[in-house]
Structures are given as structure tokens and as C-alpha cells.
Amino acid sequence: MKFFYAVLAGALLGASATLLHLLLFPLGLVLGLVAVVVGIWAIGRAWRLRKYKVLAAVAWLVIVVQGATLGVGGELLIQGDLAGSLLILLGTFALVLAIFLPI
């Protein structure tokens, strides 16, 4: 059950970061990245294992990469502009930071 909750939390964090990163450009991006770090750290803190942090981070990456690829109709949720590139780059750094923060 913890496995499912970790994946669900990571997916929800990824979806929120994808949708927030363009909201008032620097503010939404910072809010999304802070939410990722705090959310994934809290998952590890709640269940005392790093593997749940990794599961949530993988779910986050799957959602964000899916948002950055073209859909059937050619739509993109994360564009290749400054905000989208920063979300992917800084989001990956935020994931690594959240995983290696002490439990």
C-alpha cells in the first residue's frame, strides 16, 4: 500500500509542477520546485525508507517527461522555452536533493 501511495504522491507532485510552472513565471516555477522537494522529503520522512522517495521521484519524472512530449494532437504541456527547460533541469536537481536529504 505504501508503494501505491508513494507513486500516487509523486504523480500528483509531477502534475502540479507541470501545471504550475507557467503561472506568474518565476513564482509558479519556484512554488512547484519547492513542493517537489518538500513532498518527496515528507514521503521518506513518513515511511522512513529511501526507496519510497525514489519511487515518488520516478513517478514525478514519468509525468513531467510525458508532459514534455508531443501528444496525439500535437499538444505540449511543457514547452521548450525557458520555463519548461528550467522545470526539467531544476526539477531533476530538486529530486536528487530530496532523495539524498536525511530521513
The range of the structural domain enclosing residue 96 comes to 6-100
Query: What pTM was estimated for this model as a whole?
Result: 0.93
- Tally of CB atoms within 10 A around 78: 22
Confirm whether 76 is domain-assigned: yes
Distance CA 34, CA 91 (A): 9
Vertex 57 angle, CA 52 and 58, to 5°: 100
Q: What are phi and psi of 15, to 5 degrees?
A: -65, -40
Q: Read off the pLDDT of residues 78-95 as tens digits, 9 standing for 90 and up.
A: 998 999 999 999 999 999
Among 61, 56, 48, 41, residue whose Cα is nearest residue 101: 41
Q: How confident is the model at residue 103 (pLDDT cuts 50, 70, 90)?
A: confident
Q: What pLDDT, on the 0 to 100 scale, is given for residue 60?
A: 97
Q: Read off the pLDDT of residues 51-64 as tens digits, 9 standing for 90 and up.
A: 999 999 999 999 99
Give the count of domains, the chain. 1
All residues at 6 or more sequence positions from 39 whose CB lies less than 8 Å from its CB, including other chains: 9, 13, 56, 98
Confirm whether 38 is domain-assigned: yes
Judged by phi (left if over 0) then psi (alpha if -120 to 50, else beta), residue 17 lies in alpha
Confirm whether 20 is domain-assigned: yes
Q: What pLDDT, on the 0 to 100 scale, is given for residue 86?
A: 96
Confirm whether 1 is domain-assigned: no
